[in-house]
Amino acid sequence: MNLRKIKNGYIITDRFGSEEIHTTLESVFSNLLLHFEGRGKWFSGDSFGVVEIHRKPNDKFKEVEPA
């Protein structure tokens, strides 16, 4: 799979050359987890990964200085 950033979105290209446009990072990662795990929010079962996107620091994920 290939991921490209475009204006106002992202394009995911699969190994067959099919392209899918996503407008948010949440949508991109949901699609990737579905592809790699075979699971999505409408499927039951255990998930190997969870993606949380935090746009601002919070109590659990505090801001850190860049390396």
In tens, the pLDDT along 13-35 reads 988 999 999 999 888 988 887 87
The mean pLDDT value for 41-59 works out to 69
Q: Is the pLDDT of residue 4 over 70?
A: yes
Contact (CB, 8 A) for 4 and 10? yes
Token pair in block for residue 3: 């991921």
Which one-letter amino acid corresponds to residue 35?
H
Q: Chain-wide mean pLDDT for the chain?
A: 81
37 three-class SS: helix
C-alpha–C-alpha distance, residues 40 and 16, integer Å: 22
Q: Is the pLDDT of residue 46 over 70?
A: no
